[in-house]
Structure 1
């Protein structure tokens, strides 16, 4: 658990096996129905590049508690949480920020608000505005069903059949069920509203002039590959397409994803010629 002025946040942390931290840390932010566990496959590889790497649950998500106030789950409010987490984890050093899917929209708020100095920003399977396609339909269904039917219905009517159809192992299905039901219903409902109504803030992000990476799977079904490629071009950002991956490259192609992040982070750090991290 990471303590901030806004409360406690559940986290997974990885450090170099050597115990020597040589480079700036990284903060990984999950998507709408995800959690910190979505980054397990990349955490240790990323840490072996000489960094402290932390993945968190957003407020109201899985193992991080959250209030029943809908205002706590706007992208702006959640972005303010990311500022506090980044300041706590970075402890005065610039920090690499990665946001997956809805987490990218949240992390973008923290970058734009200017309260925290970041070393770089990565949009991982995340687009410029509202999510589209089947994932948008799924989010709208959650918005309708959660208040009247509850999370248990959402699991049995949508998540469980999809997992079974995809041949997900029983132990992973058990975890996915536990995770979904542990979410704050208020959080999940209003986060879903945010992801289907978010306006485009690419112009504002461009003005920050922060090293930015747009990284996505070639078969992404949240924001199209074309949409993400166009966003990268407008931001003058580096763009990496992960072959064979869909909406969750850190799960579907962890080594390729980790390698792309490490290379990007190292390059971003080389631009900060007047700042050097201090080894612990």
Structure 2
């Protein structure tokens, strides 16, 4: 089996500020990793041990409502602003131990990470991975699928919504190559998540405004560096859009070869070659 959410690692399942987490490493700067929409902490399984070997402590979170983290029934609680405050509190708690905290947000987690910085999270560096300056492009397949999924979630709940997701995914060769045990995990994770959380996040993915200017000002005021990373074949926000976002943030921009929207599972070795040297230059 290739790299996936079930890749072996030495991280320990724990809780942090009431959120489910995978934590590895005992010394060094802390890398806090936020997953995307319908994701979880396990999305980072292929890179956890390698980051520890590179000198970092690693904490991968389930955001509120995701998989093993509970959350409220209010859909508003899952918008980037609300989740960003939760993450800012987590960063503050981690930083209280004396080590710098590097924050990485993938996809929807990138919108949350941005809001965490705007909420005052004391980060020593920010990495935005396969995320964009605002909501998903309205003409994209992912944006359109969210509208269909919302109807199913509201009318029938999690099971029919995931059935549609599988039906759409089955059209793509990459899905057909996924081992059965990974598909079983992906389904179990989805149906264990909060319907309110999925609805709130989906709303933000279709409505979130461009806050790049605010983020750039916040990073400058704290002298916190930023890295923007994109899979070379990202089909959510285009690499060109992410490159322009990096320019506006005065941030370094890197493409990950052999990856689309999830370099952490599609080409983790190439992702590590990008992020590890940059992170080490920031804090080691």
Q: CA RMSD in A?
A: 1.4
Task: State the distance in 1 between where 2:264 and 2:80 align.
Answer: 22
In the TM superposition, 1:211-226 aligns within 5 A as 211-226=225-240
Task: State the distance in 2 between where 1:67 and 1:130 align.
Answer: 23
Residue 10 of structure 1 aligns to a residue whose secondary structure is strand
Native 8 Å contact 1:9 1:57 kept in 2: yes
- Inter-CA distance 160–183: structure 2 relative to 1 (3 Å threshold): farther
Say how many residue pairs are matched: 261
Native 8 Å contact 2:77 2:200 kept in 1: no
Residue from 87, 99, 104 that aligns with 1:98: 104
In the TM superposition, 1:71-82 aligns within 5 A as 71-82=76-87
Native 8 Å contact 1:31 1:100 kept in 2: yes
Structure 1's unaligned 5+ residue stretches are 271-280
* Structure 1 residue 2 corresponds to structure 2 residue 15: yes
Structure 2's unaligned 5+ residue stretches are 1-13
Task: State the distance in 1 between where 2:161 and 2:74 align.
Answer: 21
User: Structure 1 residues 65-74 or 214-223, which shifts more?
Assistant: 65-74
- Inter-CA distance 262–179: structure 2 relative to 1 (3 Å threshold): same
* Structure 1 residue 197 corresponds to structure 2 residue 204: no
Deviation by residue 1:69-118 (Cα, 9 ceiling, x = unmatched): 2221121110011112112223243200000000000010011122x211
Deviation by residue 1:121-180 (Cα, 9 ceiling, x = unmatched): 000000100012111112222222211021100111223551585211110110011000
The TM-score normalised by the length of structure 2 is 0.88
Task: State the distance in 2 between where 1:84 and 1:30 align.
Answer: 17
Q: Which residue of the partner structure matches residue 63 of structure 1?
A: 68
Task: State the distance in 2 between where 1:163 and 1:171 align.
Answer: 16
In the TM superposition, 1:1-280 aligns within 5 A as 1-4=14-17, 8-15=18-25, 21=27, 23-90=28-95, 91-114=97-120, 116-132=121-137, 133-159=140-166, 162-163=169-170, 165=172, 166-167=175-176, 168-208=178-218, 209=220, 210-269=224-283
Task: State the distance in 2 between where 1:188 and 1:92 align.
Answer: 35
Native 8 Å contact 2:256 2:274 kept in 1: no
The TM-score normalised by the length of structure 1 is 0.89
User: Structure 1 residues 69-78 or 94-103, which shifts more?
Assistant: 69-78
